[in-house]
Amino acid sequence: MGLAPAVPLLSTAIAEHLAATEGEHGLYAEIAAADPRLAFAVESLIREHAELRRLAKRDLSDLSAAQITDLARHLDRHCQRGNDLVYEAFIVDLGGEH
């Protein structure tokens, strides 16, 4: 059985993530418009999406345990960078207002 049953779920999750974050109405556009200083972080995450698109199209069912671990680390780092960006954009108070 292995990884095969999870592959469609992973591909769907990646597609949903890309749809929610990219494009003129996506989360990243909202962040860049609200806080231009975060544009580089937004662009970095969008560049990572090219790799996510390749992953979503690839047959992942034959990956070794080491490759699965690497993939999980890659996805985890991307998610953490995205979470950090959202935190920086919407939670961090830079001050300056009284």
Please count the structural domains in the chain.
1
11 within a domain of the structure (yes/no): yes
94 within a domain of the structure (yes/no): no
95 within a domain of the structure (yes/no): no
Q: How far is CA 50 from CA 19, 57, 59, 66, 95, in A?
A: 13, 11, 16, 22, 35
Predicted model pTM: 0.81
pLDDT digits (tens, 9 = 90+) for 32-69: 999 999 999 999 999 999 988 888 788 777 788 888 88
Q: Residue 29: what pLDDT?
A: 94
45 within a domain of the structure (yes/no): yes
Q: Residue 96: what pLDDT?
A: 60
Domain that holds residue 80: 4-89
96 within a domain of the structure (yes/no): no
98 within a domain of the structure (yes/no): no
41 within a domain of the structure (yes/no): yes
